């Protein structure tokens, strides 16, 4: 059982970031970038690292006699586990470094974006798909399968997240991702989460499930209609997301359907709560993550107290609906970028004054 102190520490690290002589294992792609992953107080954390505000963080990870320690303002906080660069990073497939095909994130999460580009002319405000240099724009299913097979030989506890930029096709990339899932599952039975936009026809979701995907995330990002046209100008409507999520819940097992919600984009507190209520009512996991600007954007993270209040309120809601935060695979298994799992574990013992 996690404690209120663990919850506060994780939220503090997510909002303030970390300093140290560390090497990020993932530099771009889908999801928050510019961070480093580690395990502290039994919590996996991916904290901002290369952003300007992180360079002013009171937190620092230092190596002492071969072990890592977390310091705050120079004072020891806890021992830290920092994952090493995986062995498979040393190898190539089709002349391409394997780490450019599939990266390690969190502690045991493999991540890949099949397409590192998108057909949307007006990009999402938080998009990091094309962030970084020398990335592989389009990856072949057999390339991803070979890398995943090699990565699982090294550590059988790993699981895989497959995302993609949105192509200009009715399936919105679902068929492309399904081909990757099938290729990977032919090599190894690693648990897989897929992340796609709602396709034009619900039957394309069946393609992902039939290919062997274990979990799915359809990411609304924000329920605030006041900012949605600016934040996700070309993504489908909220209604389309909810329809797709409901359909997915008829295919995938309990706790394997989720949706990312970003905090700190200018949304109202009420829109966050209302959106999470909609997700909980249909049985989907609201995966609540603070928006992290890429290192090229000179912007701070959202406020610590605001994020704490969001997590407490949403954890209370999830508990009342019986929503479990852990999936077989993916972001909702890793939880490095979110603190909702810790909030749920300690909510009964958490007092408002603990903020």
Q: Are 204 and 171 in contact (CB under 8 A)?
A: yes
Could you tell me the two tokens for 11? Answer: 């939220």
What phi and psi values does residue 93 have, to the nearest 5 degrees? Answer: -135, 125
The pair of structure tokens assigned to 250 is 């008829």
Q: In whole angstroms, what is the distance from residue 172 CA to residue 115 CA?
A: 11
Measured distance CA(218)–CA(161) in Å, rounded: 13
For the chain, the structural domain boundaries read 4-354
Q: Are strands 103-105 and 19-20 parallel, antiparallel or unpaired?
A: unpaired
The pLDDT, as a whole number, for residue 128 is: 79
User: Cα–Cα distance between 280 and 115 in angstroms, integer?
Assistant: 31
Distances (CA, A) of 289 to 70, 229, 259: 22, 20, 10
Tell me the pLDDT tens digit for each residue of 316-327.
999 999 998 889
- CA–CA gap between residue 201 and residue 137 (Å, rounded): 26
pLDDT at position 354: 54
Q: Pairing mode, if any, of strands 192-195 and 159-163? A: parallel
CATH of domain 4-354: 3.20.20.70
Contacts of 115 (CB under 8 A, 6+ apart): 137, 138, 139, 164, 165, 166, 167, 173, 176
Q: What is the pLDDT of residue 266?
A: 95
pLDDT tens digits for 266-311?
999 999 999 999 999 999 999 999 999 888 877 888 999 999 999 9
Six token digits for residue 308? 């704490």
Pull the structure tokens for residue 24. 């990020």
Q: How many CA atoms lie within 13 A of 351 on its CB side?
A: 2
Is the separation of the CB atoms in 24 and 89 below 8 Å?
no
Where the chain has pLDDT below 50, the residues are 352-353
Distance CA 48, CA 318 (A): 27
- Alpha-carbon distance of 146 to 21, in angstroms, equals 31
């Amino acid at each position: 059982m996690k404690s209120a102190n663990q919850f506060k520490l994780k939220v503090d690290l997510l909002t303030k970031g970390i300093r140290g002589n560390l090497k990020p294992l993932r530099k771009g792609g889908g999801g928050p970038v510019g961070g480093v992953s580690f395990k502290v107080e039994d919590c996996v954390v991916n904290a901002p690292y290369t952003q300007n505000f992180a360079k002013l963080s009171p937190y620092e990870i230092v190596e002492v006699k071969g072990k890592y320690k977390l310091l705050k303002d120079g004072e020891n906080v806890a021992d830290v586990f920092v994952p090493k660069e995986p062995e498979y990073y040393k190898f190539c497939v089709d002349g391409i470094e394997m780490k450019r095909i599939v990266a390690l994130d969190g502690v045991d999460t493999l991540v890949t974006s099949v397409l590192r580009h998108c057909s949307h002319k007006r990009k999402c405000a938080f998009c990091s798909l094309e962030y970084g240099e020398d990335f592989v724009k389009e990856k072949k299913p057999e390339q991803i399968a070979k890398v995943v097979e090699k990565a699982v030989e090294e550590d059988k506890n790993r699981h895989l997240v497959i995302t993609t930029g949105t192509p200009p096709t009715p399936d919105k990339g679902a068929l492309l991702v399904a081909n990757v899932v099938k290729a990977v599952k032919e090599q190894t039975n690693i648990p897989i989460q897929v992340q796609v936009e709602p396709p034009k026809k619900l039957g394309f979701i069946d393609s992902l499930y039939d290919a062997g995907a274990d979990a799915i995330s359809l990411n609304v990002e924000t329920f605030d209609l006041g900012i949605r046209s600016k934040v996700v100008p070309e993504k489908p409507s909220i209604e389309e997301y909810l329809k797709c999520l409901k359909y997915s819940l008829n295919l995938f097992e309990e706790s394997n359907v989720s949706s990312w919600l970003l905090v700190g984009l200018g949304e109202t507190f009420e829109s966050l709560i209302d959106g999470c209520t909609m997700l909980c009512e249909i049985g989907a996991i609201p995966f609540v993550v603070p928006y992290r600007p890429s290192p090229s954007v000179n912007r701070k993270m959202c406020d610590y107290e605001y994020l704490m209040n969001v997590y407490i309120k949403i954890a209370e809601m999830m508990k009342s609906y019986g929503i479990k935060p852990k999936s077989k695979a993916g972001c909702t298994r890793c939880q490095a970028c979110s603190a909702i799992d810790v909030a749920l574990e300690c909510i009964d013992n958490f007092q408002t004054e603990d903020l």
